[in-house]
Structure 1
Amino acid sequence: MDPIKTRSLEVTVISGENLCIVQKPVTEDVYVVVRTESLKCWTTKMAKQGGESLSSGHSTTWNERLMVEAPLHAKSITFEVQCKTSKGLVRPIGLARIAISDVVPKDEACSEVLNYRLRNWEGRRSGG
Structure 2
Amino acid sequence: METTAFPSPATYALEITITSAEGLRVGRKRRPVKKNAFVTVQTDLYTYQSTKVDTEGGSNPAWNERLVICMPMHAKFITLEVQCKARFPTKSNEVIGAARVPVSDFIGGYAPSDYLHFLSYGLRNKHGERSGIINFSVTVKGLDDRRRVPSPWPVTPAVGEKGINAAVVTGVPAAWFDNDGRTAYFATNQTASRI
1:107 to partner: Cα distance? 1.2
Alignment of 1:1-128 (within 5 A): 5-22=10-27, 23-47=30-54, 49-50=56-57, 58-88=59-89, 89=91, 90-104=93-107, 106-127=111-132
Q: Structure 2 length normalisation: TM-score? A: 0.55
Q: Which moved more, 1:82-91 or 1:103-112?
A: 103-112
CA shift in 2, pair 1:39/1:109, >3 Å: closer
1:78 to partner: Cα distance? 0.1
| RMSD of aligned residue pairs (Cα, Å) | 2.2
SS of the residue corresponding to residue 117 of structure 1 reads: strand
CA shift in 2, pair 1:73/1:109, >3 Å: closer
Q: Which amino acid aligns with 2:15?
A: E
More strand by proportion, 1 or 2?
Answer: 1
Q: Which moved more, 1:21-30 or 1:42-51?
A: 42-51
In 2, Cα distance between equivalents of 1:109 and 1:36: 19
Q: Which amino acid aligns with 1:5?
A: A
Q: Which amino acid aligns with 1:15?
A: S
SS of the residue corresponding to residue 128 of structure 2 reads: coil
Q: Structure 1 length normalisation: TM-score? A: 0.81
1:28 to partner: Cα distance? 1.4
SS of the residue corresponding to residue 95 of structure 2 reads: strand
CA shift in 2, pair 1:74/1:46, >3 Å: same
Deviations 1:25-59 (A, max 9, x none): 112111101101231210100125447xxxxxx42
What is the number of equivalent residue pairs in this alignment?
120
Q: Which amino acid aligns with 1:17?
A: E
SS of the residue corresponding to residue 101 of structure 1 reads: helix
In 2, Cα distance between equivalents of 1:24 and 1:111: 34
Contact persistence 1:20–1:26 (CA under 8 A): yes
Any stretches of 5+ residues in structure 2 without a counterpart?
Answer: 1-7, 134-195
| Structure possessing the higher radius of gyration over alpha carbons | 2
CA shift in 2, pair 1:24/1:114, >3 Å: same
Contact persistence 1:13–1:65 (CA under 8 A): yes
Contact persistence 2:23–2:131 (CA under 8 A): no
